[in-house]
Amino acid sequence: MASSAAGGGSDSRFFTTQKKGEMHELRLELHSTDRLVKVDAVKKVIASMTVGKDVSSLFTDVLNCVQTGNIELKKLVYLYLINYAKSQPELTLLAVNTFVKDANDPNPLIRALAVRTMGCIRVDRITEYLCEPLGRALRDEDPYVRKTAAVCVAKLYDIAPDLVQERGFIETLHDLISDSNPSVVANGVAALSEISETSGRDVMRINASVLQKLLAALNECTEWGQVFILDSLAKYTPAEAREAEGIIERVTPRLQHANSAVVMSAVKVILSYMDVMGGGGGAHDESIRALTRKLAPPLVTLLNSEPEIQYVALRNINLIVQKRPSILENEIKVFFCKYNDPIYVKMEKLEIIIKLVSERNVDQVLLELKEYATEVDVDFVRKSVSAIGRCAVKLERAAERCIGVLLELIQTKVNYVVQESVIVIKDVFRRYPNRYESIIATLCDNLDTLDEPQAKASMIWIIGEYAERIDNADELLDTFLETFEEEDPAVQLQLLTATVKCFLKNPEETQDMVQRVLDLATEESDNPDLRDRGFIYWRLLSTDPEAAKLVVLGDKPVIEDDTFRLEPNLLNVLVGQIATLSSIYHKPPEAFVVRAKRGPVGGDDLGVGDVGEEIEEGDEEEDYEDENDVNNGGGGGDLLDMGGLSVNNASAPAVGGGGMGGMFGAPSPAAASEPGARMSKVCAPDKSGGIELWAGFRQAGGTVALELDVRNVSSNVPVSNLAIQLNKNSFGLSPTNQQIVCNPPVPVGGTRRHSVELVVNPNMLAQVPAGQPASPQIQVAIKNITTGLVFYFAANFALEALFSADGALERAAFIESWKSIDDKKELYGTVSDLPPASTDIDQVAAKFKMHRIFLIARRPVPNAEGQEVAYFSMRTTTGMAFMAELTFKKGVNAAKVCIKTENVAYGVQAKVALETLLRS
């Protein structure tokens, strides 16, 4: 006994490596008659299971140990059963009798353990045996059993919602809210809240009677019970201001709780109810002011916690100061950064400083930001410099002081400080035109330090906008033109526009320069956006120079302060989600939570697919004027970080990928029948050791694939083994297998097609800049294993390869969705020179269906003879939904295309997909 006691002092001994034949020894120990040996054996099994060893072969042996009165052993066996129940469902049924028996045990701990274990075993066939014990447990005399059973109802609802409703368990949960034990009340509320989330219906149904019971339990239950109750109260809408005040009075003491989750949930309740109290005038306004004063101290206290809690608090405070800036208007000092704050905390503090800055405290803030601009962390310095510019945009009276600080920072000659200063000064010029142009000379003195695309583009915009005030504006622009073809698309676009502005202001001296730029833009560039703008300028200048002046040099609206950039409706939703992931992501739950369709309740209303709404940022006030770009060449610039591909000159594939032609209707080398991949040449032999590559994307059997034609043009070494890697991209695509085996090897003159299966990997998803369309480019690196040569190319992804077979909407759902999407989120275009088959709706619908684009309805256009409209829907496998309206006219080989979607950034690619299919 002494040795046994000594050995039982620490369970860490069970995690030591077992010798060979351990399974046999464990099996013998599990059948031992000695209780201590049996307990130790089960502990060893659990330890092996915990570290990832497969001990499922001992299932029946462990299961035999369940017939015991020892609660420690029973807990261990139940833990094992929960883990392996899914892989051994038939054998789990053997334990059902024990569960049922234990559910009637005199010991309440064993009764609760049995019910909890049955709820955790997510096997459908167990549920029919669970209902009777669960029903008894919900009415058990012991509160511990009742509170355990309440949580079990929510778990059962996940597996069998019909069963929960038939057995009346939801009504029983409502009864538990009236329970005398506060922990039971809290678990009942938690279960009802979980069921509401799962089903999409409000099953909580708080009334006056329930309300009082919740408030009474609030003071006595555990801290996490308080969180559940407070979250439920936040969803309740008081009938009048007086009721709201009464609830707030009961909730306010929670602001002083030690648990930050309780504090944030209490803040959420108070903020929600302040809206109900607002607008009443008199006493209500005084009450709101008093509450405002009470909310500041607990929020400030949260900033003394560990960094992770600080970050969560700051993300929530960011929303709170947008909703009610007055709460923390006098507390800006607490958001000043400390030297040892992690970078993610510093960045959030800067955002809040900008939101709280006012004319009263701007001098103090500028001193602080100027200090930050001398830090060693480059990202933090950039954000600080940007913050100074945002203060200038926000506060007109302080703009001059902000400009002064920026000029001081420019004098430091620190490269990244100068570049960020130029970027924000451009915004200041756009906010306050013709006011601070005296500093342009200082900016021009620092041209040599600019090497980043955004800084170059900003400086070029300033030169073009104020060319008449800069004596050598044409010479300055000429220095940029020397490297025009190597510049980022954003820089090229600004150079084109600035040169045209310069020409319109001083035509005699800049005629040759503008001619050169227009030639480069229209004849040498692969970027369709640049080409289109070049052609527009060319036609304007050649036909009507005066009209060109009105267009190019016309007055532009000043930019607005975007400090509080969340739309009011979205902000209200997010404030109602304080203390949840939504308040950290600053996105509504449906943007990132996908719930399975199950049960007969109204959960299907939500659908399962609105994943793609992560693109929306709430501030897309413009629909991006180049919405008709077929392949936005500018998109490649966002993807130049090749990550694990170790590229030294990554700009090469982004600009010269060569895969653009196929998307513009260029002849395809292989006339593959639909729905095959549209192949285009992406890599020439001189860049890849004598191997020529053609690439295209298609979907086959529900799987997205990159089709590669490997052509050995001049490589003396047969192509036998390749490795492939994709850069982060707008679609999150990556290969399931990085090896491409050519069997037999491809000799000189030979060709072989390979299909690389792709999957959507969230870690490979590239961030789409706000207000910009998603780039269609997929950047690819290929390594020839035999020769060791690595080469790169970029191919444009065909979005129809991502469309899923469940994209058809019911007509009523289509109409409702169409009406619910803001007209600002529409994209228009006209497709001309269509083949005859693409002007017949029946043939178009058949072609589209092959690509999982479904016809919903068609109708003639009223008062327009010969015109007909067809409506289509499609959905990607990642959940992005698109709706299309196509208008055809009899005898005209063209069609108008209109796309509506919440996923605006990907709308351009959806439109490109339809246009390309129509032209094919």
pLDDT tens per residue, range 166-190? 888 888 888 888 888 888 888 889 8
Instruction: Determine if residue 732 is left, alpha or beta; phi over 0 gives left, psi from -120 to 50 gives alpha, anything else beta.
Output: left
pLDDT of residue 666: 33
3-state secondary structure at position 415: helix
3-state secondary structure at position 673: coil
Q: Is the alpha carbon torsion for 109, 111, 112, 113 positive or negative?
A: positive
CB of 854 closer than 8 Å to CB of 801: no
CB of 617 closer than 8 Å to CB of 599: no
CB of 163 closer than 8 Å to CB of 156: yes
CB of 608 closer than 8 Å to CB of 623: no
pLDDT of residue 312: 94
CB of 98 closer than 8 Å to CB of 67: yes
pLDDT of residue 636: 36
CB of 587 closer than 8 Å to CB of 735: no
pLDDT of residue 383: 92
Determine the Cα–Cα distance for residues 713 and 684; give it in Å rounded to an integer.
9
What is the DSSP pairing of strand 790-796 with strand 751-760? Answer: unpaired
Phi, psi of 896 (to 5 degrees): -95, 135
User: How many C-beta atoms lie closer than 10 Å to residue 853's C-beta?
Assistant: 24
Q: Kindly state the tokens that stand for 417.
A: 């400080």
CB of 765 closer than 8 Å to CB of 728: yes
Burial 24-40 (b: 16+ CB within 10 A, else e): eebbebbeeeeeeebbb
CB of 116 closer than 8 Å to CB of 108: no
pTM value surpassing 0.85 = no
HSE-CB for 686 with a 13 A CA cutoff: 0
Peptide bond connecting 653 to the previous residue in cis, omega within 30 degrees of 0: no
Determine the Cα–Cα distance for residues 66 and 95; give it in Å rounded to an integer.
8
CB of 752 closer than 8 Å to CB of 742: yes
* HEC letters along 857-899: EEEECCCCCCEEEEEEEEEECCCCEEEEEEEEECCCCCEEEEE
Burial 479-493 (b: 16+ CB within 10 A, else e): ebbeebeebbbbbbb
Distance of alpha carbon 891 from the chain centroid: 45
User: How many C-beta atoms lie closer than 10 Å to residue 814's C-beta?
Assistant: 18
With a cut of 50, list the residues of the chain below it in pLDDT.
1-8, 20, 596-674
Phi, psi of 381 (to 5 degrees): -60, -45
Q: Is the alpha carbon torsion for 62, 63, 68, 69 positive or negative?
A: positive
Peptide bond connecting 106 to the previous residue in cis, omega within 30 degrees of 0: no
Determine the Cα–Cα distance for residues 310 and 297; give it in Å rounded to an integer.
14
Task: Tell me the CA end-to-end span of the chain in Å, nearest whole number.
Answer: 84
Compute the residue count for the chain. Answer: 920
Q: Who contacts 55 (Cβ-Cβ below 8 Å, separation ≥6)?
A: 23, 26, 45, 48, 49
User: How many C-beta atoms lie closer than 10 Å to residue 770's C-beta?
Assistant: 13
Phi, psi of 816 (to 5 degrees): -65, -45
Q: Who contacts 909 (Cβ-Cβ below 8 Å, separation ≥6)?
A: 773, 774, 776, 797, 799
Determine the Cα–Cα distance for residues 327 and 316; give it in Å rounded to an integer.
13
pLDDT of residue 595: 56
CB of 746 closer than 8 Å to CB of 722: no
Tell me the one-letter amino acid at 490: A
In sequence order, what DSSP letters do the residues of 278-331 get, joined into one string? Answer: TT--THHHHHHHHHHHHHHHHHHHHTTS-HHHHHHHHHHHHHHHHH-GGGSTT-
If we measure between CA atoms, which residue out of 359, 360, 388, 358 comes closest to residue 372?
388
Determine the Cα–Cα distance for residues 591 and 589; give it in Å rounded to an integer.
5
If we measure between CA atoms, which residue out of 684, 694, 741 comes closest to residue 718?
741
